[in-house]
Amino acid sequence: MKSRLLVFALIPLMSLMLFVSSVATNVGAEDVTYDVPDSEGWLGIYVAGEKLGYIHWKIERKKVDKEEYYRITANEARTIKIKKDGKDTGKEAKETYTYNATVKMDLSPRTLEYTGVKGGQKATLNATRKDTVIEVEATLGDGPKMPVQKVNMKPDTTWAFCSALVFGWRRHSIERPSEYSRMIEASRVVLSSEMVGAEKKITFEGEELDGNEWSAEGGKVVLAYSDGRLLTSVETTKTGVETKYICEAKDVAESMMNYEQKKAKDASKPNTGKNNKDPKKPGKGDHFKDALDPVGEDEADSAGPEYLKLPLKGGTKFSMRAAKGWKCVVTKNGNNFLILVVNEEDNNVLVNVLIQATDGKDPSEMLDEFIEASKNQEGVDKLEVDEGPDEFDLGKCNCAGALVSFIANNEKRKAYCVFMGGDELTVLLLPSCTDDAWKGVEADMYSMFGSARYE
């Protein structure tokens, strides 16, 4: 199974942003490099004061042969409310944009792969820098590739989707104006603004920070930073429409609320006692202390039998290793795929791997909703939570799990269910096992779950 496994992702459908600093190193008169640590973060997107979605970005330093560069990726999701005659129709349209770029050590362009889906129409773009020219090849929908377009860049030009981040990583001195130059991916046009910086006390999420604010064009372009960390980026069109990007915690960014709204909502939630435990460890001991080794980055994509490594939406992958006496199976059921990890001695003992849309919810919220829905499901009786819910990490992935027992088909059953959260998709590990069988496979289940990764 290779690229066709992407079908699993086709389902109808910042924790505070990491502190990021960079150091500029003068190598020669015209050769400057920047030391940016591997990091990631989230930005909420606001247009005309209304939140439309978020961007999740990541930067990683790479070295191939003798060449060093940075890879910057981003997944952007927007939800547009459809209006008629200025009134909300109650309908929504989804837009998604993915960026996979590389930049040189001076943070100038190298390559870019871009895909945008808007109004059901897909657009792709591949760009490569050659000296001071960016060569762009674009495709709209199922149409043919457009002729290669050559775009002249300036010394400080970078890709637009990460340009505000790059401007901060470059640590420009406020003693003199600095060029803010970015190539707009969709229109293949380079925009440049001469930014003037000033020290400023910035109030951000209720805290007063020492920062720098850069502005141009009479305030139509404004960037705000604290110690190199992007706080806000604002651009206003000629018609007066303001687009603002705000650094946000992951749960805030993925919601359709701003920081103050999310804080107020969380404060109004009833105290269930869940916050009294360490949110990164299971409630009753470490279930995953005997976890199998995660599937390695150098191991090939696979649908079994020894392990799963499945490409999903947005360049992510789900992987999990099968314990001894178990096998991974992927089978087609109509237009859908079944992803299973099956006990070789008893095929009725298995783990279902289900992939579904995140819909802006975190794993703990999805777990709570799943448990409540299961209690009301026909054929399921006396469902009880024996342990948890627990919140923990598997690799870099936020997860939530709970041990539940219930009666189905006159049999008492038990399962430890795990939700693994992602930007667009969530993976659910759902065992199918009788109460008696659980006692014999519990250690295997936890060892396999501990090897699971979604990142």
| CA gap 324, 241 in Å, rounded | 59
- Is residue 14's pLDDT more than 70? no
pLDDT score of 66: 84
- Is residue 283's pLDDT more than 60? no
- 51-125-107-199 Cα dihedral, nearest 10 degrees: -30
279 vs 310, residue with greater confidence = 310
| Other CB atoms within 10 Å distance of the CB of residue 401 | 27
Q: Which of 235-249, 318-332, 412-426 has the highest mean predicted lDDT (pLDDT)?
A: 235-249
Q: Rounded mean pLDDT of the chain?
A: 83
pLDDT confidence bin for 284, thresholds 50/70/90: very low
pLDDT score of 312: 82
Cα–Cα distance list, 449 to 302, 337, 352 (Å): 17, 20, 12
| CA gap 25, 225 in Å, rounded | 21
pLDDT score of 286: 67
Annotate 385-434 with DSSP letters as a single string. Answer: EEEEEEEEEETTEEEEEEEEEEEETTEEEEEEEEEE--SSEEEEEEEE-B
Residue type, 179: E
Q: What 3-state class would DSSP assign to 367?
A: helix
pLDDT confidence bin for 24, thresholds 50/70/90: low
pLDDT score of 356: 81
pLDDT confidence bin for 16, thresholds 50/70/90: very low
Average pLDDT estimate for 255-278: 71
Average pLDDT estimate for 130-146: 90
| CA gap 375, 384 in Å, rounded | 8
Residue with tokens 């992007």: 230
Average pLDDT estimate for 138-153: 89
423 vs 321, residue with greater confidence = 321
pLDDT confidence bin for 27, thresholds 50/70/90: very low
Rg (CA), the chain: 24
- Is residue 9's pLDDT more than 70? no
Instruction: Please give the order of strands across the beta sheet that includes 411-420.
Output: 326-333, 336-343, 350-357, 425-432, 411-420, 397-408, 381-394
- Is residue 335's pLDDT more than 90? no
pLDDT confidence bin for 186, thresholds 50/70/90: confident
User: What is the per-residue pLDDT across 401-447, written as a single tens digit (0 to 9) for each?
Assistant: 888 888 887 888 888 888 888 777 788 888 888 888 888 888 888 88
pTM: 0.57
Residue type, 83: K
| CA gap 202, 209 in Å, rounded | 5
Residue with tokens 């919140």: 391
H/E segment holding residue 442: helix 435-451
pLDDT confidence bin for 276, thresholds 50/70/90: very low
| CA gap 15, 111 in Å, rounded | 30
Tell me, what DSSP letter sits at residue 345?
S
User: What is the per-residue pLDDT across 205-229, written as a single tens digit (0 to 9) for each?
Assistant: 989 999 999 999 888 999 999 988 9
Determine what percent of the chain is predicted with pLDDT higher than 90: 38
- Is residue 8's pLDDT more than 50? no
pLDDT score of 63: 87
| CA gap 105, 108 in Å, rounded | 7
360 Rama class: left (phi>0) / alpha (psi -120 to 50) / beta: left
| CA gap 287, 421 in Å, rounded | 19
Residue with tokens 């190193």: 25
The number of angstroms, rounded, from the C-alpha of 8 to the middle of its chain's C-alpha atoms is 17
Q: Which of 60-74, 279-293, 336-350, 433-447 has the highest mean predicted lDDT (pLDDT)?
A: 60-74
